[in-house]
Structures are given as C-alpha cells and as structure tokens.
Chains A and B, each alone.
Chain A
C-alpha cells in the first residue's frame, strides 16, 4: 500500500496553551522566556506580540522597547514535549501511529486511514477543525513522504495535499529550509545563492556531497521518497488491538457495554484462530473533550472466553465517566499467551486447581475485590511454626517440599502469640493453671515440652518450649514458654493456638 503521512505544525504551541488556560491573554501580547547567559531570552511568542515585531530568540529587554505592555512568563523546560505527547495520544483517533516531531510538530502515518473520512481533503479538514477547537494554531499537509509533508506544512502555499508521486514537483518551489537541514548548511547554501530546492536538484550529487556532506543528500532523498524514513509512534502499536469508532458519542453504560461486547467478539475470534489467550486487556474510551477513560483487567490463565472476559470488564464499566460522550473505543490485549487447547470434557471433572472454572472464578473475585485477598500456601523448610509455610507465587506453583507433620500442630494458630499468666512447676513440667482472656483454665492432661529453637541466621531471640494441654472442659491449647527459667525472669508464657 502507498504510504501516506500527515505533518502537523503547531505555530504557537506553548503560547496557545497559555491562552487556553488563561483566555484573558488572548489579545494581549505576551512571551515566554527563559534565562540564558544572564539575560532573559524569548522562547515563544503569541500572535499579538509577533505582529509588533517580537520574535523568538530576542532578549526580553529589547522586546520591552517595542511593546511596553509586554507580559513575560517563565518557560517550563519539557513543556512542549509534554503538550505534544498529550495531543499525540489524542490524535490516535485519526491514526494508530502518531509520532512526536520535536520541537513543534506531529507526524501521523495515515496509510489506509483517510478513506474512512471519504477523501483526504475531508480527513485533513477534520483534523484541522478538531485541533483548532482546542485553540491551537496549526498548519498541516499530507504527502507520500515525511519530508515532503513536513516541508509543505511549514512552507507550502498551495494545496495541503500533495498527490501520490507528486512530492518532488511540489518541493521544487520551496526554500531550502524546507529540507529539515542544519541551520549552518542552510546559511551556506543561501550565501551561494541556492535558495530553492529546484536550485539544488540540478547540481550533480557528488559535488553536493563534497561541499555539504551526506546529510543534505539524505534529506533530499527522504523528501523525494528515494530513501525510507521511519517514525516512532508515541504508543507502540499493539498487535492485538481492536477499534470501534462511534457515529454518535456514547454516554450510557448500556452503550459502553455493547461497544465492549463487539470489540471482545472480534478480538477473541482473532485470538482463538491464532491459538492464543489474553492475560491483560485494556479497554479505552476516547472522550469528546480529549480525556481518555481506561479500565484494565488481568486473568490468571490465558483466556479467549468472551463471556468470561465481558463479565470481568463489565464490573468496571461503572468507573467510566463518559462526560459529553465517548467517540472511540479501543480494546488492547497487551499480554497474550499461547493457549493449550484441551478437549472439552463430557463429564464434570474434579480437576483440582487446574480447571478453567476455578481460574475464571478467581478472576472475578480479583476483578471485584482485589488480588491481594487471594492466598495459597506451600510448605517451607522451617520448624519455626510461623515460617513453616509460605505464600505461593501463583495458583500453579508446584510444591517443592512435602508437608511434614512430625509433632501435633494446632488447627488454629494465633497471628501473634498472646501472653498468659501461668502456674507451672519447674524445671520443665507443663503448667497446672493458666489464665487467658480473664478465664482460668485448669490443665488436666498435657504433652511436652517440644523445644523449637530460633533460627539465629534469620532472627535473634529465645527458643520456645511448646506444650499441648487440655483443660477440664476438654478444650485443647498450644502453650509455650519462651526462654529458660532464670533469676532475671526473662522468660514468658504464651498461648499460640487451639487444637481441634
């Protein structure tokens, strides 16, 4: 397919943005300036200041001579980059590949996009009208090459659309500055009387290279289409992406649901054909006022089950604020994995943790409540009770060591051992009485002690002597004394759990 590019030139990018924020500035002359070698140098001007003769690069003091009421604002470093990124993301409604063209432009790869607007003139007119609505003063042009579009946007006087194959002809009458060359080379060319591109074309290439370097030739070739040039889109094009432009802006949840359903259907059909399933999906709504509403879901295992994915996204539709309406929806599968196709079971299987139903259930719970609420544990090689198990990384993590139970362990373990008062004969007999939560328990039967040492390489502290005890009501507890009996009374009794 023939490549087509659109170049957009923001003539007063930063000052337009200032006017957008403070409409009162519209007719007043003002400039942005930043300090440079101890002076304030103008970095951007608005139209009102420009007509009075103020230009970029002037010192503020000089400009004040021309306009006494000149307002000066501080320029923020990185402002144009930030503004361009925002506009570029907004421009994705016109084409999926939008790149920033520093310092004051955008390049859109519009190959195969314009026919959606019926013709290229209407396409450009729509872009112009929409961006103009935001208050930006722009010029734009379309051509087969980035170079030609760039040149025509900035220097072209004729039609903004250069027909396919006509870029060389269109370039001829433009000044050499239109070739995106180094200002030094431009000055040298102009000194030699080579003011227009047509003057350069007629000169043999070897002599041009000898005098002005390879760069000039490369720019000429790029503009004419002899050498290919690439752009770096602000958002890398997702391979699994679906778009749904709307005729009328969508404001209702039902409408969003229908759009989502359509996008999911097409995306899942494609995933299914390629034997893939999505792990992360992002659903975006491009609002009329330029904001983007985003919802994202993740799944535990690759899935292309439309019904399930719809359910996951549906929960979050409430969080979308359509404001004036949403005009474009996109659905991107940013993480895709191969799906292992299994034959459907005729019978219900009790397949353990590896069933689709279970992972879909966990997705739903994660989507509604959050992923940090779901836990699974695997054994760990420690005797210290709190460390004898650990959180599993995923639902499919295999158990490395076996679950060992050598000595009885309580079914319920207190998160933190609670100190208790105890009457116990020394040296190492189990307690006779203990008081927990104000209630006195008389111990009838007991087992122990079972000593568990601190793992000194992990934590400093005293060992624990555990006892399994049963009181007169038949309730069973796990008590321990931390440390040895000593004169300084550093030991302490705790309750740590309940047996069934």
Chain B
C-alpha cells in the first residue's frame, strides 16, 4: 500500500475514513442493512443524527411514536411532519391512515408539507388500518406513510417491516393511548412531549413549538433525549440530556 501523507490534516481525514469504514463493517456484521442506492437523505434532525447507525436517519424502515393524550399526539404529529417535509421535498406523495383523524390540513403548511399532496384514508377498524398500511407501504414512489393506531403487535409490525424492505418507503406509526408498550419490529421508538416554548428575553406571547424528543429504542444506535424546536421550517437543537445507561442500551436492538 503506497500512501504518502503530506501533512497532519490529510492523515486525520484518512484515519476518519478508516474508522467510518470499520464502523460500517461492524454494522453489517450485526445485520444492519444499508440503503442500497446509498443516497443518504438528510432529514434535518441535527444533533439527533448521531444516535442512528451511520449517522443517518433510517429510511425505508418503520418508526414508532408513542403518545399519551391529545396534546402529546399533536406534538408527535408536528415532529413527524417536520421529518416528512424533508422526505416530500422530492415531490413524493404522503398517505395518512387513521381512525379518528383531527389533523387540520392547512396547518401542515407551516411544517413544510404541501397539504394537497396528502391522501387521507379514514377507516374504522384497527385491522383495516393495518391492512391499508401494509398495502400502502408496498407501494413504491411514496414519500412516506403515516398510520395512527392504538395497538401494534409484534407480528403486525414484522409484516410492515417486510413490506418496507421491498419498497424502501418510510413508515411512521403514531400510537395513541396504547395499553401496553410491547416489543415490535420497528427500528426506532420515540416519545415526543411538548415543553414550554421560549422567546427572546422580554418578548410576550407563545413561541415556536418546542418538544422533548426521547429516542427510547433504536436498532444499532444509541438512544437519547434531546430538546428540539421547530422554527423557520427547520429543527433547531436546544439541549441534550445524558444518554440512557449502558445496561439499557444493551437491551435494545
């Protein structure tokens, strides 16, 4: 191997390259599948990015969000909309499946989503939602599929995961008032809660939406807690809480 390093800077970049290569090898040994076309799309999550394998938000996978009440569900919708807006930038369509939908379409505009590009499918039964979600996830060319449901068992989540592995569509499951937080085949599990907004000192009124983002589980990554704000059409990182202890981290994945 012939390589001449002229100065220290080149040397450090070469080292970094080797380290990323090694990290990738380790991940592939652990069974992590990379996106085949290698197009890493930045969804604008800023500091959270480092929690994911390869430091990129997993696309072509299922993400699970849990929320307790209507307020937290709205916060979750806001956070998800921010991510989806980035995915829809390449003129893809979004399918939103739910049983009791309260989304106010014009408001999605403020999260960067064009509301007329969304197709809402309103169903009554959880079973129908799962069926429609699976069918939608099999459909290539969609930017994302959002499904609002209460329960999601392991088998159902595996079916969804198998569907996205073929089509590379990203799925978001918003679980509201779930009775039990069971094991699922989703790559991540999030919990988003609203926190008081802050404006510049002395300014009256309500500020930009601000959330506590908890990444409870992430396959091959590092769970953590962050405080994020959505302003000016992008996520802004406010602060990071210490990551979850090593023991808990080991259990995930």
Contact = CB atoms under 8 A, between A and B. Distances in A.
Interface of A: 348-353, 355, 357-358, 360-362, 364-365, 368-369, 373-379, 385, 388-389, 392, 395, 399, 403-405, 408-415, 444-447, 468-470, 472-477, 497-500
Contact of B140 (A357, A365, A369, A500): A357
Given A405-B109, A474-B195, A498-B74, A392 B116 contact: yes
A365 B135 contact: yes
A498 B135 contact: no
B119 A362 contact: yes
B156 interface: no
Nearest to B203: A445
B110 A352 contact: no
B102 A352 contact: no
Contact of B194 (A357, A361, A476): A476
Given A348-B140, A351-B141, A411-B103, A377 B206 contact: no
B85 to A, nearest CB: 13
B234 to A, nearest CB: 14
B253 interface: no
Contacts of A469: 206
Given A377-B116, A410-B104, 14 more contacts: A365-B121, A368-B131, A376-B116, A379-B115, A389-B115, A395-B119, A404-B106, A412-B73, A415-B102, A447-B205, A476-B209, A497-B104, A499-B206, A500-B81
Interface of B: 70-71, 73-75, 77-79, 81, 90-93, 95, 102-111, 114-123, 128, 131-132, 135-136, 138-143, 168, 194-197, 204-207, 209-211, 230
Contact of B139 (A361, A374, A415, A474): A361
A428 B116 CA distance: 36
Given A357-B139, A378-B116, A474-B194, A350 B90 contact: yes
Contact of A369 (B103, B107, B123): B123
B104 A413 contact: yes
Contact of B102 (A357, A414, A475): A414
Given A357-B139, A473-B194, A373 B123 contact: yes
Leading 10 A-B pairs by shortest Cβ distance: A500-B78, A413-B104, A474-B196, A350-B92, A498-B74, A475-B71, A409-B107, A412-B102, A447-B205, A474-B195
Contacts of A500: 74-75, 77-79, 81, 111, 194, 209, 211, 230
7 contacts: A357-B140, A365-B132, A373-B121, A395-B119, A411-B107, A468-B206, A470-B196
B190 to A, nearest CB: 14
A139 to B, nearest CB: 56
A405 B110 contact: yes
A377 B107 contact: no
B93 A499 contact: no
Contacts of A379: 106, 115-116
A227 to B, nearest CB: 59
Contacts of A403: 106, 109, 114-116
A356 to B, nearest CB: 9
Contact of B77 (A348, A358, A411): A411
Given A350-B143, A369-B128, A411-B81, A476 B197 contact: yes
Residue among A357, A399, A476 with the highest chain B CB neighbour number at 10 A: A476
B123 to A, nearest CB: 6
B122 A375 contact: yes
A446 B95 CA distance: 34
Contacts of B136: 361
A374 B120 CA distance: 6
Given A389-B115, A410-B74, A445 B206 contact: yes
Residue among B131, B141, B143 with the highest chain A CB neighbour number at 10 A: B141
A371 to B, nearest CB: 11
A499 B77 CA distance: 10
A411 B78 contact: yes
Contacts of A360: 139
Contacts of A355: 93, 141
A357 B196 contact: no
Nearest to B168: A348
A146 B214 CA distance: 83
Given A365-B121, A405-B109, A475 B194 contact: yes
Contacts of B114: 403
Nearest to A409: B107
B205 A349 contact: no
A411 B108 contact: yes
Contacts of A348: 140-141, 168
B128 A374 contact: no
Nearest to B92: A350
A409 B110 contact: yes
Given A368-B131, A409-B110, A357 B141 contact: yes
Nearest to B113: A403
A352 B91 contact: yes
A2 to B, nearest CB: 53
A444 B131 CA distance: 43
A376 B120 contact: yes
Contacts of B209: 476, 499-500
A357 B169 CA distance: 13
Contacts of A408: 110, 206
Nearest to B74: A498
B13 to A, nearest CB: 32
A470 B206 contact: yes
A475 B122 CA distance: 27
Contacts of A395: 119
Contacts of A473: 194, 196
Contacts of B106: 379, 388-389, 403-405, 409
A392 B118 CA distance: 11
Nearest to B104: A413
Nearest to A448: B205
A76 B115 CA distance: 58
B135 A364 contact: yes
Contact of A474 (B111, B168, B210): B210
A447 B208 CA distance: 12
Contacts of B195: 474
Given A365-B135, A474-B197, A412 B141 contact: no
